[in-house]
Amino acid sequence: MIVMKLVFITPGMTFGGAERVISILSNIWCDMGHDVSIFITSSDKPSAYRLNEKVKVEYYDDYRVDGVSHFKLISSIRDFVDKENSDCVLSFMNDVCAYTILSLTGKNIPIIYSERNDPNKTNQSKVDKIFRKIVEFGASHIVFQTEGAKQCYSKKVQRKSSIILNPVELSRIPERKKEDINYSEIVTVARLEPQKNQELLIDAFNIVSNKHKDVVLKIFGEGSLKKKLQNRIDELGLKDKVYLMGTKSDVLNWIKESYCFVLTSDFEGLPNSLIEAMCMGIPCISTDCSPGGARQLLSDDRGLIVPCGDKERLAEAINIYLENKDIAAQYGQAAYGLRKEIDCNKVAKEWLKLMEKIVRGEN
């Protein structure tokens, strides 16, 4: 094993899928003897996730990137990478990776970009498209979560790419006991933003509740659509059946006894909340969100997939679970099998194997 000095360049370490992955990988790599540093470009807030005390964290001192400070950010990234004597630099965000590539021009330091979402639905402004071109040309390697996301890029980019699933710390996934399951509770966990389309779930639940009077829906998350979603709940007369629960630091303990989990995103990378629900053995339903991460996870009869935006089909899927407990249990048991594929130690080693090849110049 090569002992490496690894650097993450990231906008922040607040709650989010990419941030969680960074924290998990950093902690494991430090425990394995590697030197890991995180440079935060756009926030002064501490990490929302536990970090190994050996992980070094430094903040860009002027994170308001406006006209005149782009060059300062580029210079600061270069200085940090030089100071850490980095063997490999990783970035999970399009714009930050572009700045990183510009900052390390002329240096023989591998840069790995990880695509976290649907490339055809995000980063669509003119500036973002310029950043993407910089990333496509300048990144040493690109890691995708799904084959669908990989196919959004050129053949040239695909030749310098890999697919690696999100890591999950199975030790923090609570045990789900059959005797504690609340067969009248449906849950979802996601930011309250247009991409996640919780309004679709509320509308589908309205159909379900006409038939199953005792079922409740709990929506975990915060975001810009909170007021709009509450208004929709009130309009449909569901205020005693649909609850906006906010963000919970121990959300897995809140949902472990739920009967089923539903994801209604219009587009998504590889959804952590869906992965965690599956790892608890909760029967899951998801929209067929691009670029195919949910379909990939729920393949092989590990859950139900419905078309995006179709409230009737979503209601039908929920009713299948509510009216067929044996079928739901079979899907939940199959979903539980995902654990062996996404164990954090396995995934961390996949990343290390890739980086060792790249550092050796074998990419």
Question: Domain-by-domain residue ranges, the chain?
Answer: 5-167+343-359, 170-341
Homologous superfamily of the 170-341 domain (CATH): Glycogen Phosphorylase B; (3.40.50.2000)
Among 91, 180, 171, 75, residue whose Cα is nearest residue 134? 91
Using the Cα atoms of residue 99, residue 102, residue 103 and residue 104 in order, give the sign of their dihedral. Answer: positive
* Residue 62: per-residue pLDDT: 64
The interaxial angle of helices 311-323 and 198-211, nearest 10 deg, is 50
Per residue, what are the HEC states of the chain? CCCCEEEEEECCCCCCHHHHHHHHHHHHHHHCCCEEEEEECCCCCCCCCCCCCCCEEEECCCCCCCHHHHHHHHHHHHHHHHHHCCCEEEECCHHHHHHHHHHCCCCCCCEEEECCCCCCCCCCCHHHHHHHHHHHHHCCEEEECCHHHHCCCCHHHHCCEEECCCCECHHHCCCCCHHHCEEEEEEEECCCCHHHCHHHHHHHHHHHHHHCCCCEEEEEECCCCHHHHHHHHHHCCCCCCEEEEECCCCHHHHHCCEEEEEECCCECCCCHHHHHHHHCCCCEEEECCECCHHHHHHCCCCCEEECCCCHHHHHHHHHHHHHCHHHHHHHHHHHHCCHHHHEHHHHHHHHHHHHHHHHCCCC
* Residue 26: per-residue pLDDT: 98
CA–CA distance, 123 with 192 (Å, rounded to integer): 19
* Residue 64: per-residue pLDDT: 54
CA–CA distance, 135 with 102 (Å, rounded to integer): 10
Domains 5-167+343-359 and 170-341 share a fold: yes
C-alpha separations of 118 from 33, 233, 252, 342 in Å: 34, 29, 26, 20
* Residue 1: per-residue pLDDT: 73
Residues (pLDDT < 70) of the chain are: 62-68, 122-123, 363
* CATH code 3.40.50.11540 for 5-167+343-359: no
**Residue 258, beta-bridge partner list:** 182
CA–CA distance, 301 with 306 (Å, rounded to integer): 13
* Residue 68: per-residue pLDDT: 46
* Residue 128: per-residue pLDDT: 85
- How far out from the chain centre does Cα 277 lie? 13
* Residue 229: per-residue pLDDT: 98
